[in-house]
Amino acid sequence: MNRILGEKISIVTDKPQTTRNRILGIYNNLDMQIVFLDTPGIHQGRRGLNKRMVQTALATLEEIDLVLFLVPPDLSFGVEDALITDHLKQIKTPVILVVNKIDTVSQDLIIPVLQAYHKTGIFTDVIPVSALTGENLDRLLAVAKKFAPEGTPFFPDDIATDQPMRFLAAEIIREKVILKTRDEVPYAIAVEIEDFKEDAKKNLAKIQATIYVERDSQKGILIGKKGGVLKEIGRKARLELEKLLATKIFLTLWVKVKKNWRTDEHFLTKMKY
C-alpha cells in the first residue's frame, strides 16, 4: 500500500502483527479511486490485544469489494494459512492472492507457494509483486479496478489517508522501537501521544509521547545505557516525522511500565485497539 500510494501510511517491520489497527489508504488517478484498508493479520489470537486485532481484520472482510491476501514467496502453507483460507471460504467477497517480495527469491521457489494456495480454490487471480521495486503493481491496480463499483469518490483526491497526525506519529515511534529493540520488546510496547502542538510561525511541532511496556526489565532495555537506546529511537522518529510534517520537530519520549496491558480491556479501549 505504501508503494502504491507513494507515501508511508503503514509502518513496516519484519515482525508479524506489526499492524494493530485498520489503516485506510487512498489511491487516486484520473479515472478511479481505490480505498485500501490495511488490517492486522489474521492469526490465533484468543486474548486481549490479539483477539481485538483478529476481530478488526475479520470485520473488515464483510464490508469491502475485494480482498488482497498478501503472502511472502518463501513461506510454506501452514496452520495459520489454513485458518485464514477457512475464513475466506466463508465470505462472498472475491479474493486475490498477492505474493510479495518476488525480488528476493528465484522463480522456482515461488511456484510451490502458488501451487499450495491454488489448491484451496478460493482465489480469483494470483499476482506476484515486489513492493520494493514496484514490479507488477500496475497489473495489481488494473485487476483491482475490475472489482471497483462505479460511483462518486469517497474522499477528496488530494489526501492519502484519513488517519490523524497523532496516530501516524505514534505509529512511527512504535516502528522505531521495534526496529531498534528487535526481539526484546516489540510486542510489549504501545505508544500514546500525550501532547501535539504545532507552531506555524516558528515552523515547529512539539510532540510528547509515552512508550508503554509490561515489565521493568523491558523499560531498562528500551532506555539503554545512559539513555542511549531511547535517544536513538527518538532521533530516528524525529527525522521521519520532520519529513512527514515538513516542519521541525521537538520530540520528548517517556517510558512507563503498565503491567499486562495487552490483556487490560480498559487500557486497550483507551488506546483505540
Q: How far is CA 168 from CA 62, 74, 174, in A?
A: 26, 31, 10
Summarize pLDDT for 175-190 with one digit per residue, the tens.
999 999 877 787 899 9
Task: Assess whether pLDDT exceeds 90 at residue 193.
Answer: yes
CATH superfamily of this structure's domain 2-146 = P-loop containing nucleotide triphosphate hydrolases (3.40.50.300)
Q: For the domain covering 165-270, report its CATH number.
A: 3.30.300.20
Q: pTM, whole model, 2 decimals?
A: 0.88
Which pLDDT does position 110 carry in this prediction? 81
Grid cell digits, residue 126: 494470483
Mean of the pLDDT values across residues 263-270? 94
Summarize pLDDT for 53-110 with one digit per residue, the tens.
888 888 888 789 999 999 888 766 777 778 888 888 888 899 999 999 999 988 888 8
Q: What is the percent of the chain with per-residue pLDDT over 70, rounded to a whole number?
A: 98
Domain ranges of the chain: 2-146, 165-270
Of 131, 169, 187, the residue nearest 1 (C-alpha): 131
| Dist. CA 187–CA 152, nearest whole Å | 40
Q: What is the DSSP secondary-structure string of 30-88?
A: SS-EEEEEE-PPP----SHHHHHHHHHHHHHTTS-S-EEEEE-TT----HHHHHHHHHH
For cell 520528548, what's the residue?
Answer: 252
Q: Which amino acid is at 81?
A: D
Q: Do the Cβ atoms of 18 and 11 come closer than 8 Å?
A: yes
Which pLDDT does position 197 carry in this prediction? 95
Summarize pLDDT for 128-178 with one digit per residue, the tens.
999 999 999 999 999 999 998 888 999 998 889 999 999 999 999 999 999
Q: Which amino acid is at 5?
A: L
Q: What is the DSSP secondary-structure string of 4-21?
A: HHTS--S---SSTT---S
